[in-house]
Amino acid sequence: MLPLLSLLISLVTLVVARSSTGTDVLVIVSAEEQKDYTLFFEDLEGRGYDLFFREPKAEKPVLLDADVPQFHHVLMLASDTKAFASDITPQNIVELLTKNVNVVVALSPKQNLFYTLAPEFGLVPPPPGTPLISYFPERTDPPTVLPVHVAPGPIVTPNTPPVWFSGIPFSVGNSPLLVPILNAPSESFASDSDSTTESIVESVEKGGEGLWAGSSLGLVTGFQVTDGGRALFLGGGAILSDAFANKALPDGSSSGNKQIAHDVSAWAFQESLVLRIDETSHHVVNATEPKEYYTTNDQVVYTTKISRWNAKENEWEPHTGVDDLQLEFTMLDPHVRTGIPEDLARPGTYSVTFRAPDRHGVFKFIVDYRRKGWTHLKSAITVPVVPPRHDGYPRFLSAAWPYYAGAVSTSVGFVLFAALYLAGETKEAGKKKKE
Amino acid sequence: MHWLPALLLPLLVLAKDPQLELAELAEKGNGVIKLTPNTFELLTSSNRNWSAAIQLTALDKRRRCEPCKNFDPSWNEVAQAWHKVPKAERDNHFFATLDFDDGQATFQKLGLSSAPAVYIYSATDGPHAPASGRFGPHKYDFSSGFEAGPLAEQLSRHTPIPIPYSEPFNWGKLLTSIAGVVSFLSLLRWVGPFLQNKWVWAAGTIFTSLVMTSGYMFTQIRGVPFTGPNGSWVAAGYQNMYGQEVQVISLIYGTLALSFLMLTAVVPYQTSPGRQRVQVYLWTFVIMLVYSVLIALFKVKNRGYPFRLFL
Amino acid sequence: MATAYTLPDISPTAVKNTASLVRIVALALISGAAIASRLFAVINFESIIHEFDPWFNYRATKVLASQGFYEFWNWFDPTAWYPLGRVVGGTVYPGLMATSGVIYNVLHKLNLPVDIRNICVLLAPGFSALTAWATYMFTKEMKDASAGLLAAAFIGITPGYISRSVAGSYDNEAIAIFLLMFTFFLWIKAVKLGSALYGSLAALFYFYMVAAWGGYAFITNMIPVHALTLMLMGRYSSRLYVAYCSWYAIGTLSSMQVPFVGFQPVRTSEHMGALGVFGLLQIVAFAQLARAHMSSKQFKDLLFYSVIGIGLIGAGGFVGLTYMGWIAPWTGRFYSLWDTGYAKKYIPIIASVSEHQPTAWPSFFMDLQLLIFLFPAGVILCFRELRDEHVFVIIYALVGSYFAGVMVRLMLTLTPCVCVSAAVAFSSLLDTYLDPAKPEVPVVEETAPATASKPAATATATGTSAIDDVVNAAKKSGKRGIFDLDTRLIIVFNAFCMLSFFVLHCTWVTSNAYSSPSVVLASQNQDGSQHIIDDFREAYYWLRQNTPETSVVMSWWDYGYQIAGMADRPTLVDNNTWNNTHIATVGKAMASTEEVAYPILRKHDVEYVLVIFGGLIGYSGDDINKFLWMVRISQGVWPDEIQEPNYFTPQGEYRVDDRASATMKNSLMYKMSYYRFAELFGGSKQAMDRVRNQRLPTVSPTLDYLDEAFTSENWIVRIYQVKKEDPLGRDLKSANAFTDGKKRKRSKPVSRRRAIM
């Protein structure tokens, strides 16, 4: 279904397809909850996505058919549901992610299978039934509904106004693949409504262990799977809801929920911050074709072309302005590590010339570019570096002059001796030589 | 004020630092602490800022531990080498010996069923505690033998500073070799003609090659015993042998070679046909007999061998 | 004069011609027998390259045959010793490959499209025929042609040489023994004749030998020792001077042309003996010359002491240069021949090779049978005559028997010497008892022996018939001989029986012990028929056909050449054990836990790990039995991380069952060997390792970082695929637990503040 469909869609509705991976979105949401997100769904459809809805307990449409993903993106908004259909399991969701399907998961104070899923990504949700609470700023809303200031970052639009949030926080592990997008306000904490502060006091006494409080907890966190899709964890689905999008902030201005819903879904569905390496090439200086192997101390040129997905134009365009791209020429350890500057004449092209090490072996050109939020770029080309050929060494060495002199003098001496021996009297010549 | 130290002295003894106590014990034992179960506990207490190497052995004659006796001198040599280290460093590492008869319970606790063994306890505290956090006990690996050299070298990895052990110079060996050379030179006049006799050299050559082809080097390199444990002198298996086999086999080879030489070089010079005939038959019989024995012996070693001769 | 039996009346020329015809026919038959007895391997199995090293030689030969010599010279093999690579052209003795390449090209020029594999398989038998001929020539110099024929026959079929030269055993030794014998022959000839031509020829073949085998150092030291001994015996002559100088000068210069040898002949201790003797010869020659021209006694004394002084200065110079590092001291391999404990202590890789073990006496008897006790008799006979060439054989016997005792593999260098001296002894015996002359019994009969008539063939014909020659020759040699016919008959009959037994023995040993390719194994079925176990090739071909060409395979070094040759995949280590650290790295990965091994595997881009496991069918040469060497070698590099005693039970036993130590059970090698092994027996207590005769635990080990990819029919070869890093960045153990649906322990946010104490 997927390849054919995407092909058809890309042919017919070329204008609106904007994700770099595809347009089919499966939304797993119960029928009553579905109504809460009309604005968000409209936004998605307006960006060219085809939404397919599925009840959490419904068997169809399936996520994976014979291990082949059936959708490009999956939205798990059924946060309050306890039981899911048999194919919706944490294992299957992880499998989708490894197959370049993007997944958005909304957690909630009610425990369900996402509670076992999140720890696999280094995110630890608090015990069930402990929503995020904050009494600041003073407002009429219940303490579990709170406005959150949006910190600037690569994913969200700058100057987004604070957003309404309701749900749970989670502690963010130190996995380098995690991309924090929205963190909890520093004065907020997670607690069940019965024992509001006691447990906090208790954990404070323990030196902060097990303290579900403070700005280090995440509310919206992305996860860039290595060689796979993107996962987005929301502390609560409500942040995307119509109610919060329309709800005014305590100071009366409009909230940033609509904007953040747009931004995080654009990131999660691989519209923004998507890079790829178009091509890499290597050759010696003053040549164009790559060599099968390089000789030690060769001057080698390495060139790579990087593109970025432009969601507006629906095409890959050269990605310029990277000033921290690095190349490693590695055999077990990097023998050469150098920055790759941009080739200003050719946008999106990065090129460097370096001297191959004086060491033979099987080397790899490695570009490993990982920046938070961006797609990871990884390229490794294996190439042997060999010692010079038998005729590739310099012919005459200054250090070898004693040997040349020795060889020549011996030859001359032999010729002279032979001439004297043959010309002179046999007996005398022999005597002369031996003395 | 002279009475003050005198007054403090008993106090000092009472609250004596275990390290000092151990140092005293080491001093008493000339570098090696002779352990009892109590001092063993003290030495290996879990909170120690010294390291220790403990030889667990059974030197009593009744225990019949031959390797223990072989190893003990090396141990004491290395311990004494350590004893020469300046006091500041010396007391951070102790050498100790626990005999089986003094601490059976300790042996049982350590699960030791064979001796000798060397356990090395690193310091758990203080500046000499290993960064790896592995405090031991490490077991010394006897694969490099019982010699003091490798022992000192390996133990040095656990001591605060390397053990200043150097192999004692073998004056005896040097003197013997010098004496040998000198006496050889002085005797050259009488030995000379002897050395110029080719048959002396022939005997040497033949002896060497006979011994070599009988597997002498195998017994040397592998250090195999002269006979088997149950008195048997033929080791089972194709790639295995005992020391006595070298003698038997070289004797067999020698006899066979001699018989051939007799037939080739001595018998033809017989002047009497009768005696010549007797000798030919005799040597032929010897060859057949010894050769059969050889084949039979080979069949013992290589059971799959299909041939046999008379025997 | 009396003769013991009637000789037919034949003219001396006829005898001479017949003798040479018989010699040629005999040599041809010996060559045929030598080749034929080496074909057991092809008949019992197939035309296949054997064992380990030959696979590399075969692969290199293919490169040489297809790409030419210069490409071979510059061949850098990126698939060996990944990722270090191997400069093959500069680290290989190219003689063997070059020989095959030449044969291949010649045959193709003659429009005989022979497969390169068949040339490689049959090269060793072919060269064994040449060896027989070279031994014949050599022995002829020692005694006479009849002894030469015997020696040729001996070396043609003796198992000591066959073990290294059966069809398919495509190794350097295959051609090296011929070169060894022929170089020695030329050297002997040069010394005998004082001929610069023969000396140069010896140098030429010495060069070929240097290009073919690392054992050339044997020649490099044997010839100087011979020359030195001759000088010490007071047998210095201009013949020796000419022979040695021409051999040394040309031989050394030409040997330096082999890239792998390079400047070693002037920079290493192994070659210094030859140089030293060269220098000594010059001094002695000068002294001889000067003495002839001087009269005064004082001058002669002065000369004597100055010669000794120069010699001492020279020796001191060597020592000094060695200390300053200009001359490399003896390499470990060479040194371990003298100090036999050295290798085990410092170079466990060398000690771990089975062919570097010392030789027990049954091996000597198995390989040489009756020759081993004829050999001393022959040496004694050499002492009796003690011409220059006999001194050579005596030294060879002494040195060779010592080396053969130290290392099984050096049995090969002893074998030719044993064959020669045994042939001398045996033919002396036959000469004595076939000689028709009968001392002091005046019965004249007319005879002419065909085989034992060397004196007849060479003695100048002065009499009227051949009989006179024979008798005269016999008379000249003294008053000796055999009187009766019955004693002659019994000796000859006995000799015949012993030789027949020798032939039976050799045939049996060759067909049973030395003809297994070790790539293909054979076992006996219940009904006695042969059952072929072909697990190795099955596994290697699986790799070849199911994995990407670039996927790196890790295995213990024994299998490196085979994987490269048959599976055509890059390997981490192979039988060219030049880099101890790299081998120790592999050993460490095998001996460590999965968690420790995994980063090592990933760092080296390992995609498949191959282990040999013999526990199911009782194949004893498997990796668990070699495991302690892996531990030892890696312990040498990482003494803090790998410790041999940890792999034994507290009682010091090497076990794989319930009582195995924890380190053993957690090691990667153990896990890979016994993974799913108990399940094969239904999980009951029946899982039995038939090599170690131990019952395994009912629960098999688990693997988190590797996947079983392939296990061969009899479980001899097991291949595991190394998993990729988890895409979610978890460690693979918890990733597997998640996939299996195991619940993760709930964790809490860690404290970000340090507790204040």
Q: Is residue A68 part of a domain?
A: yes
Q: Do residues C680 and C687 touch, judged by C-beta distance below 8 A? A: yes
Q: Tell me the CA distances in angstroms from C560 to B298, C116, C610, C622, C633, one per residue in order.
A: 36, 22, 10, 15, 17
Q: Compute chain B's Rg from CA coordinates.
A: 31
Q: State yes or no: chains B and A have 3 or more CB pairs below 8 A.
A: no
The pair of three-digit structure tokens given for residue C654, joined into one six-digit string: 């090497």
* C225, C342, C354, C361, best to mutate vs chain B, most B CBs in 10 Å: C361
Question: Under a CB-based contact definition with an 8 Å cutoff, are residues C671 and C703 in contact?
Answer: yes
- Kindly state whether residues A124 and A183 are assigned to the same domain: yes
CB contact under 8 A, B257 and C394: no
Backbone angles phi, psi at C229, to 5 degrees: -60, -45
Contact C689, C656 (CB under 8 A): yes
Alpha carbon distance C601, B239 (integer Å): 37
Average pLDDT over residues B152-157: 79
Cross-chain CB nearest to C372 (options B213, B241, B309)? B213
What residue ranges of chain C have pLDDT lower than 70? 1-2, 332-334, 340-346, 349, 440-479, 683-685, 744-757
Domain that holds residue A301: 275-386
C739 near A CB under 8 A: yes
* Token output for B236: 């089972």
Question: Considering only CB atoms, which chain C residues are within 8 Å of A363?
Answer: 83
| C-beta atoms of B208 and C398 within 8 A | yes
Q: Do A386 and C747 touch (CB under 8 A)?
A: no
**A304 located within any domain:** yes
* Mean pLDDT for the stretch of residues B72-93: 81
User: Cα distance from A300 to chain C (closest Cα, Å)?
Assistant: 19
Instruction: Indicate whether A307 belongs to any domain.
Output: yes
Confidence at residue C9, expressed as pLDDT on a 0 to 100 scale: 82
Instruction: For residues A322 and A418, state if they share a domain.
Output: no
CB pair distance less than 8 Å for C383 and B205: yes
> What is the model's pLDDT at position C470?
42
Q: At what angle do helices C238-255 and C216-232 cross, to 10 degrees?
A: 160
* Interface contact C377-B216, CB threshold 8 A: no
Read off the tokens for C117. 């594999």
Number of folded domains that form chain A: 3
A370-386 pLDDT, tens digit per residue, is: 988 899 999 999 999 99
CATH number at A367 reads 2.60.40.1930
Asked if B269 and C480 come within 8 Å (Cβ–Cβ), the reply is yes
Distance CA(A108)–CA(C422), nearest Å, equals 95
In the predicted structure, residue A22 carries a pLDDT above the cut 50: yes
ipTM: 0.84
Does any CB of chain A come closer than 8 Å to the CB of residue C730? yes
Non-local (6+) Cβ contacts of A371 within 8 A are none
B277 at C interface, C-beta within 8 A: yes
Using the beta-carbon criterion (under 8 Å), do A124 and C725 form an inter-chain contact? Answer: no
Torsion on CA atoms C250, C256, C257, C259, rounded to nearest 10 = 160
How many angstroms separate the CA atoms of A261 and C67, rounded?
64
Of all residues in chain B, the percent with pLDDT exceeding 70 is 93
Quick: pLDDT tens for A302-319. Answer: 999 999 998 888 889 999
In this complex, the residue of C727, C752, C753 whose CB is nearest that of residue A226 is C727
pLDDT for res A144:
86
- Residue A353 included in any domain: yes
Residue B218 touches chain C, beta carbons under 8 Å: yes
Q: How far is A278 from A318, CA to CA, in rounded Å?
A: 9
In angstroms, what separates the C-alpha of B150 from chain C's closest C-alpha? 10
Q: Is the dihedral of CA C648, C652, C657, C658 positive or negative?
A: negative
- Weakest mean pLDDT among A66-75, B28-37, B296-305: B28-37
Structure tokens at C696: 């395994």
More confident residue, C443 or A58: A58
- Compare all CA atoms of chain C with the CA of A334 and give the residue at the minimum distance: C603
| % of chain B at pLDDT higher than 90 | 12
Of A364, A386, A408, the residue that ends a domain is A386
Find the DSSP H helices in A269-370.
none
Can you give the C-alpha Rg of chain A in angstroms?
34
**Pairwise CB contact (< 8 Å): B143 & C643:** no
C85 close to A (CB below 8 A): yes
Nearest chain C residue to B210, by CA: C376
Would an 8 Å CB–CB cutoff place B286 in contact with chain C? no
Segment A214-243 mean pLDDT = 89
Beta-ladder partners of C25: none
Is A328 among the domain residues? yes
The model carries a pTM of 0.82
Residues A351-355: what's their mean pLDDT? Answer: 93
Domain boundary among A268, A297, A326: A268
Largest CA distance in chain C: 123
A279 and A203 in one domain?
no
CATH of the domain at A131: 3.40.50
Nearest to A210 among C83, C748, C755 (CB): C748
Q: Domains in chain B, please, with CATH?
A: 14-155 (3.40.30.10), 214-301 (no CATH)
Residue found under tokens 């025929």: C129
Residues of C in contact with A115 (CB under 8 A): none
Euclidean distance between CA atoms C115 and C124, whole angstroms: 16
Question: Is residue C150 within 8 Å of residue C102, measured between CB atoms?
Answer: no
Record: contact A362-C89, CB cut-off 8 A: no
- Dump pLDDT digits (tens) for B214-252: 988 888 888 888 887 777 888 877 888 888 889 999 999
Question: Average pLDDT of B23-29?
Answer: 79
Q: What pLDDT score was predicted for residue A363? A: 93
Q: Is residue A157 part of a domain?
A: yes
In this complex, is the C-beta atom of B116 within 8 Å of any C-beta atom belonging to chain C?
Answer: no
- The answer to which of A170-184, B109-123, B288-302 has the lowest mean pLDDT is B109-123
CA C128/CA C139 separation, integer angstroms: 16
Cβ separation of C729 and A175 shorter than 8 Å?
yes
Tokens representing residue C415 in the block: 């074998």
Name the closest residue on chain C to residue A228, using Cα atoms: C727
Is the same domain home to A222 and A314? no
Position C446 scores a pLDDT of: 43
Residue C743's identity, in one-letter code, is K
Mutation target vs B (from C373, C479, C503; most B CBs, 10 A cutoff): C373
Chain A neighbours (≥3 Cβ pairs under 8 A) are C
Preceding omega of A137 cis (within 30 degrees of 0): yes
Mean pLDDT over B262-287 rounds to 88
Q: What's the pLDDT score for residue C2? A: 64
| Beta-carbon separation of C741 and A177 below 8 A | no
Cα–Cα nearest to C121, from C184, C187, C1, C35:
C35
Contact C78 A362 (CB under 8 A): yes
CB pair distance less than 8 Å for B276 and C484: yes
Neighbours of chain C (3+ CB pairs under 8 A): A, B
Q: Are A212 and A83 contained in the same domain?
A: yes
Complete DSSP assignment for chain B: -THHHHHHHHHHHHT--HHHHHHHHHHHTTTEEE--HHHHHHHT-SS-SSEEEEEEE--SGGG--HHHHHHHHHHHHHHHHHHTS-HHHHTTEEEEEEETTT-HHHHHHHT--SS-EEEEE--SSSTTS-TT----PEEPPGGG-S-HHHHHHHHTTTSSS-----PPP-HHHHHHHHHHHHHHHHHHHHHHHHHH-HHHHHHHHHHHHHHHHTTHHHHHHHT--SS-TTS--S-SSTT---HHHHHHHHHHHHHHHHHHHIIIIIGGG-S-HHHHHHHHHHHHHHHHHHHHHHHHHHHHH-TT-------
C530: left (phi over 0), alpha (psi -120 to 50) or beta: beta
Rounded distance between C-alpha atoms, residue B298 and residue B219, angstroms: 18
| A393 within a domain of the structure (yes/no) | no
CA distance B297 to chain C (A): 9
Domain closes at, from A268, A300, A331: A268
Does B265 sit within 8 Å of C651, measured CB to CB?
A: no
Place of tokens 């120069």: C310
Q: Does the CB of B292 have a partner CB in chain C at under 8 Å?
A: no
The HSE-up count of residue A364 (CA atoms within 13 Å, CB side) is 18
For testing contact with chain C, the best of B195, B196, B212, B245 (most C CBs within 10 A): B212
C749 neighbourhood in chain A, CB within 8 Å? 124, 171, 209-212, 216-217
Ordered by start, the domain boundaries in chain C are: 195-329, 533-739
Indicate yes or no: CB of C728 within 8 angstroms of CB of A177: yes
B130 pLDDT more than 90 = no
Residue from the list A177, A225, A384 with its beta carbon closest to the beta carbon of C78: A384
Q: What is the pLDDT of residue C472?
A: 46
Query: Do A246 and A97 have their domain in common?
Result: yes
Q: How confident is the model at residue A421 (pLDDT cuts 50, 70, 90)?
A: confident
CATH topology of domain C533-739: Rossmann fold (3.40.50)
Cβ of C85 and A171 within 8 Å? no
DSSP C572-590: S--SS---HHHHHHHHHHH
How far are the Cα atoms of B92, B230, C360, C362, C368 from residue B235, in angstroms, in the given order?
Answer: 49, 11, 11, 11, 21
Do the Cβ atoms of A295 and A285 come closer than 8 Å?
no
Residue A392 lies in a domain: no
Q: Given CB atoms, is C748 within the 8 Å cutoff of chain A? A: yes
Shortest Cα distance, chain B CAs vs residue C483, angstroms: 6
Q: Are residues A303 and A419 in the same domain?
A: no
Determine the Cα–Cα distance for residues C418 and B210; give it in Å rounded to an integer.
12
**Three-state DSSP class for residue A50:** strand
Query: Which of B214, B260, B289, B297 best tests the C interface by mutation, with the highest count of C CBs <10 A?
Result: B260
Q: Do C83 and A332 touch (CB under 8 A)?
A: yes
Q: Which of A96, A170, A362 to mutate to test the interface with C (most CBs of C within 10 A)?
A: A362
